[in-house]
Chain A
Amino acid sequence: MKYSICLILCYLTILTVHGQRMSFADSARLSDKVFKKTINQQFSNLVTGQSKTSIGNFASIDLREAEVSFAGSRIFDSGRVMTIKTSGAVSDGLYSIFSNSKLNTQVSLDIKLHFLRFHHQILGYDFDSLVAYDAKYEKLNREYQARALAIKYRVDSVALDKKLRATEKTINTLETLLAISSNSAMVKDSLTIELGTTKILRDSIVYAINTLPSENTGNRINTTARTLARDALAFQAAVNGFKFGWFTVGYKVNKNDFKFCDPSLAFELQVMDSSFVTHEASFQFSHYKWSEVAYQSKYWDIGMSLSVSDNFGLLKKKEISETTNLAPVAGVRSITNKYNVYQGNYKRNLIKWKGYADVYYFLFENNLGALHFYPEWVIQKSERPLFNFGSGFLFSFKDAKTDGAIVNAELYYNFLDIFNSTEAKEKLFERNDIGIRFTFPIQFK
């Protein structure tokens, strides 16, 4: 028993000595509040492309096409971000979503809710920045405490009283000097000016005394000033790396109007107006590791979506021109109307499940380029499963002042139907989709 007690005492002594050896630098870290605030802000910047201090919403209107689009975001302190994107046709400045209980033409709505995952968040920064930040933070605290003491012991009031007494003493002296008749006119003028100036000073002191805030008000002002100063002390600029993941739940509705053409029908029925409302629900997990050091940044996501849609994408686009003669004699004068139609085996109400993933590996200084791979697995009702595999090279054109991405252009090569489940005649390298696109899932740094 004695042996055990001695052992525990020795262990505690070692722990204490070890604790005393820890320097300030070894125990310094970002406070929980600043850590969370910094991560949340980096996250909201990524997801919305906006900083928290800006409004975070924007709307645009295209008068020529009579279309309006709106993108908004709501950022919650808990690390959740909601984004909304909507677009549609306008008439007379009105954007009707429903008309006669039917979804309006060209309307699309995309709502996403992003949840930041708290587990395993990493923030990287220069240690010197932490020390400098801590010093500023401590200075703020000391100033706040000093001010609180000054309010408690009415330092301002006492100082003003003292100043008022001194000023009144000066006024008495000046009045006494003015009363001496032997002084010359020039001296009296100088004394009069001095007396007037001192009286103005006295009045301002009296005003300051009368308008001094009460202790409660003074404390409230002091606390507000500290909060504002703390908020202004941003740590964002010191961040040189981070890593975190988030979940995204989304819902999208889109109405597509088009003209469908079936040449096998009678002339009047060949071209018909058609429309379909697509609904899509999605769930995704994303993970982003960003570093200012070249070749260390990565982004990946994995997700699935379930939608009720049509096979509009598989239809072939054709242009039709219709000619109407204005006179009974053909060829004299006519009106030609040109418009697009779609042809093919059109199917509606297709339930489609899609599993997908994206992997980006960033290259070069300032992450100016990235390799992108994106497999996709599509299962659709009455169709055989499709497996597509895409790859691309992303170029980021940055703003020289802020380093933020202005345009992300990606040259992509998409292998369609890798396992040829549709039994197409084309070979693997011929079943492709090659092009340039200008989108990226997040506003990467």
Chain B
Amino acid sequence: MKHFKIGDETHSYTIRHMAYCKTCHFEGPWHAKESDAETDAADHIAEPGKDDHDVRIRTEQTTDRLFGI
């Protein structure tokens, strides 16, 4: 978890990544590291008959306020 500021308030952020397939709507598990999601994407494409699937990495960035409400 890393910290940053918006205005005068300190926030933290978390980031997570997931492989998902636009062709067959496959969704892999969430990972803290993008490289792990890339591995899932590569594994999905390596499956028989899925070499032409459009696999992307979906990223979610979340803020949490450390101080205040």
In the complex, the answer to whether A123 meets B6 with C-beta atoms within 8 Å is no
Residue in B9, B59, B62 whose CB lies within 8 Å of A127: B59
In the complex, the answer to whether B56 meets A126 with C-beta atoms within 8 Å is yes
Q: Let me know if B50 is at the binding interface, CB within 8 A.
A: no
Residue in A25, A32, A125 whose CB lies within 8 Å of B4: A32
Complexed CA–CA distance, A30 and B59 (Å): 10
Nearest opposing residue in chain A for B20, CB measure: A293
In this complex, the member of B4, B34, B38, B60 whose beta carbon has the largest number of chain A beta carbons within 10 angstroms is B34
In the complex, the answer to whether B56 meets A128 with C-beta atoms within 8 Å is yes
Type the 1/0 row for B7-46, where 1 means its CB is closer than 8 Å to any CB of A.
1010101010100000001000000011101100000000
Complexed CA–CA distance, A128 and B56 (Å): 8
Task: Report the contact-size class of chain A (Cβ under 8 Å from the partner).
Answer: 20 to 34
In the complex, the answer to whether B60 meets A122 with C-beta atoms within 8 Å is yes
Residue in A22, A25, A123, A128 whose CB lies within 8 Å of B60: A123
In the complex, the answer to whether B35 meets A25 with C-beta atoms within 8 Å is yes
Question: How near does chain A come to B39, taking the closest CB pair, in angstroms?
Answer: 12
Q: Let me know if A29 is at the binding interface, CB within 8 A.
A: yes
Residues 1-48 of A at the B interface (beta carbon under 8 Å)? 22-23, 25-26, 28-30, 32, 35-36
A contact residues around B59 at 8 Å (CB) = 124-127, 130
Nearest opposing residue in chain B for A127, CB measure: B57
Q: DSSP majority for the B interface?
A: strand
Question: How near does chain A come to B4, taking the closest CB pair, in angstroms?
Answer: 5
Nearest opposing residue in chain B for A241, CB measure: B60
Binding site for B on A (CB under 8 A): 22-23, 25-26, 28-30, 32, 35-36, 78, 118-128, 130, 240-241, 293
B contact residues around A118 at 8 Å (CB) = 6, 9, 11, 63, 65
Question: How near does chain A come to B60, taking the closest CB pair, in angstroms?
Answer: 5
Provide 26 A-B residue pairs closer than 8 Å at the C-beta atoms, listed in order of the A residue: A23-B34, A23-B35, A26-B33, A29-B13, A32-B4, A32-B5, A32-B11, A35-B63, A78-B7, A118-B6, A118-B11, A119-B63, A120-B64, A121-B62, A121-B63, A122-B63, A124-B59, A124-B61, A126-B56, A126-B57, A126-B59, A127-B56, A128-B56, A130-B59, A240-B58, A241-B58
Complexed CA–CA distance, A293 and B20 (Å): 11
Complexed CA–CA distance, A403 and B62 (Å): 26
Complexed CA–CA distance, A121 and B6 (Å): 13
Given the known interface contacts A126-B56, A127-B17, A127-B34, the answer about A29 and B61 at a Cβ–Cβ threshold of 8 Å is yes
Question: How near does chain A come to B7, taking the closest CB pair, in angstroms?
Answer: 7
Complexed CA–CA distance, A35 and B37 (Å): 22
In the complex, the answer to whether A25 meets B6 with C-beta atoms within 8 Å is no
Q: Let me know if B69 is at the binding interface, CB within 8 A.
A: yes
Complexed CA–CA distance, A406 and B31 (Å): 38
Question: How near does chain B come to A235, taking the closest CB pair, in angstroms?
Answer: 11
B contact residues around A28 at 8 Å (CB) = 34
Complexed CA–CA distance, A35 and B6 (Å): 10
Nearest opposing residue in chain A for B4, CB measure: A32
A contact residues around B11 at 8 Å (CB) = 32, 118
Given contacts A119-B63, A119-B64, 13 further A-B contacts (CB under 8 A): A26-B33, A26-B34, A32-B4, A32-B11, A36-B6, A118-B11, A120-B64, A122-B61, A124-B58, A127-B37, A127-B56, A128-B56, A240-B58
In the complex, the answer to whether A127 meets B63 with C-beta atoms within 8 Å is no
